[in-house]
A and B are shown apart, each in its own frame.
Chain A
Amino acid sequence: MQGSDYVAVRDFELDIEAGEFFCLLGTSGCGKTTVLNMIAGFEPPTSGRIEISGRAIEGPGADRGVVFQGDDSLYPWLTALGNVEFGLRMRGLPRRDRLERAQHYLELVGLEGQGHKHPPELSGGMKQRIQIARVLANEPQMLLMDEPFAALDAHTRAAMQRELIKIWRATGKTVLFITHDIDEAIILATRIGVMHAGPASRLKGIIDVALSDAERDRTDDSFVGVYRQVHAMIRDEVAKAMQRSQ
């Protein structure tokens, strides 16, 4: 943070494997968005190092696609298709290739036939699909997702979670997904990193989620087992965060 001594994250160490779906779970104000912003290259770390495939991160780049929580990152003056091909246009791809690829990813996120519409005409879930397609069209190494479904209603969120798993399988991208929702983390992740409550937060522990598709169901016994494990780890942090906010 500029002009203040506030330390959001300290002594944070994490290795994310290529192709894995990593959920960073934490209470509000624990600095999880700061971690994502540093990996995205939006904020430089005051000390320490962030690398992707051995290269140090020095700023934002097309190798890391970011999906934001709200829809204010979309361009309302462009169509859905225009939004999806934006990165390709910036990077100078010929028009035909651009449109082909944008069209492909619009279909992948389930927006075929909606490409001509502008974001304000679309629902919250559809707008998040545009964001995902926009990032995928750029074919980054890694997807950085900052609570992308937090503003959606429960049914849309559940549908989007299922879709995201499908997309992740189909593309094999590495995903870093930020959330404060334990259920969401267990449904999506291959590994869950739990953060301490802020400020000066760090990683408390990592839990492997070795569940099959059928087991990624809130009513399944193995799901509940993982839930207990995660909950035991985050319970005290929630209490701390609650105390601080009072």
Chain B
Amino acid sequence: MRGAFAKLSGYVLGFGSLFALWHLASVYLLNSILFPPPLRVVAKAVELGKDGTLWENASISLQRIGLGFCFGSLIGIPLGLAIGSFGLVRRILEPYTEFLRFIPATALITVAVIWFGIGEGSKVFLIIYTTVFIVIINTAAGVSAVAPNKIRAARSLGASRTQVFQYVALPATVPYILTGMRLAMGNSFVTIIAAELVAANAGLGKMIWDARLYMLVDQIFVALLVLGLLGFTADRLFRWGIYAFAGRFSPVT
């Protein structure tokens, strides 16, 4: 109970000071219309929330991230497991992963738009792309990091090779998979905004771009604030999910 209180008061203090500094910098240091204080941004957020634009744009961005992130993980985990388990698969797929992971998703935005249009297709493709390699690499690293004695012990306890994979290698790799997914989540936020800035019909990135055209600095800040909060919440939810459903595998104990 005391621990929970200390944790909560820590967060309140952290966020409180962040907004206080923001306010001070905006009102007393710069005093410019180009750097609005937090209260004005919040007021603008309420306004945009009431007419529905904020929810619409935020939810469409989140939807894209969610979809791409899930598909990317679903593709990345089995590929990573295969790469980590079989030398042949690793040698075949490594050129792909080692080549493609250095081409950032943001560099592929234009190509994605040409291929899939400015709608959902290109966005989900880009999020999948940005997710899949981090998940593959972390998963494969996890498989090869399984202590050899864990596998030897299982073999001499009578486990077959498939059982070793299912009951030893797989659970031992879960923390690495979850770490990869968490990193991928962060990247997804970067990628979606970049993609929506370049070409989109809705989303938080589009909201920022539109606001720029009319110099609506308050609106840009609303999008930034919401992005920060969404990212923070998504990461907390992910961590909470790990604790709740896979506490034993937690990479963050």
Contact = CB atoms under 8 A, between A and B. Distances in A.
A162 to B, nearest CB: 25
A55 B248 CA distance: 41
Most chain B CB within a 10 A radius of its CB, from A72, A77, A87: A77
A127 B37 CA distance: 57
B249 interface: yes
Interface string B122-158: 0000000000000000000000000101101111111
Interface residues of B, number: 20
B117 to A, nearest CB: 44
A66 B158 contact: no
B245 to A, nearest CB: 13
Interface of A: 40-42, 59-62, 64-66, 68, 70, 72-77, 86-87, 89-91, 118, 134-135, 138
B163 A90 contact: yes
Nearest to B253: A120
Nearest to A76: B248
Contacts of A74: 150, 153
21 contacts: A40-B156, A42-B152, A42-B156, A61-B156, A62-B158, A65-B156, A66-B152, A68-B153, A70-B149, A72-B149, A73-B150, A75-B171, A76-B248, A77-B174, A86-B159, A87-B157, A87-B158, A90-B157, A90-B158, A138-B157, A138-B158
Interface of B: 147, 149-150, 152-160, 163, 167-168, 171-172, 174, 248-249
Nearest to A62: B158
A73 B171 contact: no
A86 B156 contact: no
Given A72-B149, A72-B150, A76-B248, A91 B156 contact: no
Contacts of A118: 248
Nearest to B171: A77
B154 A90 contact: yes
A81 to B, nearest CB: 14
B150 A75 contact: yes
Shortest 10 CB-CB distances between A and B: which pairs? Answer: A87-B157, A62-B158, A73-B149, A60-B155, A73-B153, A72-B147, A90-B159, A60-B156, A77-B248, A91-B158
